[in-house]
A = this chain, B = another copy of it.
Amino acid sequence: MSDGSEIRLTKQRQVILEELDRNRCHPSADEVFALVRERLPRISLGTVYRNLELLAERGLVRRLGAAGEKRRYDVDRSEHSHVWCRTCGRVDDVPGRAVVSIEGGPAVAGYEIYGYRVEFEGRCPGCRRAVAEGPGPGG
């Protein structure tokens, strides 16, 4: 948690960042583990967790996740929001800065506000198609 100092560039960290960069599907820790393990078969899940946490603390990756779901990670640091598929849990990007206004003005009871996050909820193209085609017998 040494916030200001440089972090040591280990092979593990390098590969984690590279795989996050190549797989912008907002993978969870175990998905990152699986991806990285193809290139570093001896890496451990604990190392992946430790590094994702460290990278998140330093703002190199963003941590996503909602309501008790498992965490997901995102290397894209540009301003964007996310949309979750309520049916299958897939997460996609919503590019662009989200501007929020609260009707009546934001009354946030003495808080000092650092920022905000917008998350959309919906049904992804795949699940929409599946529904349109009909659930079939028994569904």
Contacts and interface: CB of A to CB of B under 8 A. Distances in A.
A38 interface: no
A121 interface: yes
Q: How large is the interface on A (under 10, 10 to 19, 20 to 34, 35 or more residues)?
A: 35 or more
Interface stretch (A1-9, A10-18, A39-47, A105-113): A105-113
B97 A103 contact: yes
A114 B125 contact: no
Contacts of A97: 102-103
A85 interface: yes
B113 A83 contact: yes
Interface in A83-138: 83, 85-86, 92-125, 128
A65 interface: yes
A93 B109 CA distance: 8
A118 B81 CA distance: 10
A71 interface: yes
B67 A67 contact: no
Given A65-B69, A94-B107, A117-B121, 7 more contacts: A63-B68, A85-B111, A95-B104, A95-B107, A96-B107, A115-B121, A116-B119
Q: Which 9 pairs of residues, A with B, have the shortest CB-CB distance?
A: A110-B125, A68-B71, A65-B67, A113-B122, A111-B122, A96-B102, A96-B104, A63-B67, A112-B123
